[in-house]
C-alpha cells in the first residue's frame, strides 16, 4: 500500500503542475490529510486550508451544511460529503476541494452504516462533483489512514483524468 507521505508529495506535484490550490473538509480523519500535506515542504504553494469539522455544529457553522441534510441523510452520507466539499470550496481561495466523513469506530456504527463506512467528495472550478463511499476494515487508526489514502488517491486520479 502506498504511504500517506508519498501520496501527499504526488498530490502536490499534480496540483502545482496544474497551477491549482486545494482545500479540504475532514471529519473522521480529524485533520490527518491536512497534517500529512503540510509535512511536505512547499505545500503552502498548493494547499490553501483545511477544515476539521468533527461535530455537526462545526459542519453547519464552518461549511454551511444545512441542518436538513444532516437530519435527512446523516453526517456520514454522500449528500453531506457533497455539501462539505462545496462548503470547503466556497469558504476558501482554492480551485479544488473535497471532503471525508465517516465512522472510524470502534463505536458508532449500525446495520445501515457499519464502522468503517466513509463517504468522500471532490469538486472544483473545473472538476465536476464526484462522490463515493467505501467500507474499510481494521482498528480506528487503520480506518482513518485508509480513508486519508483513498481521498488523496481519488483527487490525484480525478485531476489527472479531467484537468
Weakly modelled stretches of the chain, pLDDT under 50: none
**17-40 confidence digits (pLDDT tens):** 999 999 999 999 999 999 999 999
Give counts: helices (H), strands (E), the chain.
Answer: 6, 5
Q: What pLDDT is stored for residue 91 in this prediction?
A: 98
Identify any residues that bridge with 120 across adjacent strands, giving them in sequence order: 100, 132
Q: Which CATH class is domain 4-162?
A: alpha beta
Q: What pLDDT is stored for residue 2 in this prediction?
A: 87
Provide the sign of the torsion angle of the four alpha carbons 62, 68, 70, 71, taken in this order. Answer: positive
Can you give the C-alpha Rg of the chain in angstroms? 14
Distance CA(39)–CA(163), nearest Å, equals: 25
Closest by CA to 76, choosing from 147, 137, 4, is 147
Distance CA(15)–CA(7), nearest Å, equals: 12
Q: What pLDDT is stored for residue 139 in this prediction?
A: 97
Q: What pLDDT is stored for residue 22 in this prediction?
A: 98
Query: What pTM was computed for the model?
Result: 0.97
Amino acid at each position: 500500500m502506498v504511504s500517506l507521505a508519498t501520496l501527499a508529495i504526488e498530490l502536490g506535484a499534480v496540483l502545482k503542475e496544474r497551477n491549482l490550490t486545494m482545500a479540504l473538509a475532514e471529519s473522521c480523519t480529524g485533520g490527518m490529510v491536512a497534517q500529512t500535506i503540510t509535512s511536505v515542504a512547499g505545500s503552502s504553494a498548493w494547499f490553501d486550508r483545511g477544515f476539521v469539522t468533527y461535530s455537526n455544529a462545526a459542519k453547519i457553522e464552518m461549511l454551511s451544511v444545512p441542518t436538513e441534510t444532516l437530519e435527512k441523510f446523516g453526517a456520514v452520507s454522500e449528500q453531506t460529503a457533497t455539501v462539505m466539499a462545496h462548503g470547503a470550496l466556497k469558504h476558501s481561495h482554492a480551485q479544488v476541494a473535497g471532503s471525508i466523513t465517516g465512522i472510524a469506530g470502534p463505536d458508532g456504527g449500525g446495520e445501515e452504516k457499519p464502522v468503517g463506512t466513509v463517504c468522500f467528495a471532490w469538486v472544483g472550478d473545473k472538476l465536476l462533483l464526484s462522490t463515493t463511499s467505501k467500507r474499510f476494515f481494521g482498528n480506528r487508526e487503520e480506518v482513518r489512514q485508509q480513508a486519508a489514502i483513498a481521498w488523496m488517491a481519488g483527487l490525484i486520479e480525478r485531476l489527472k483524468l479531467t484537468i
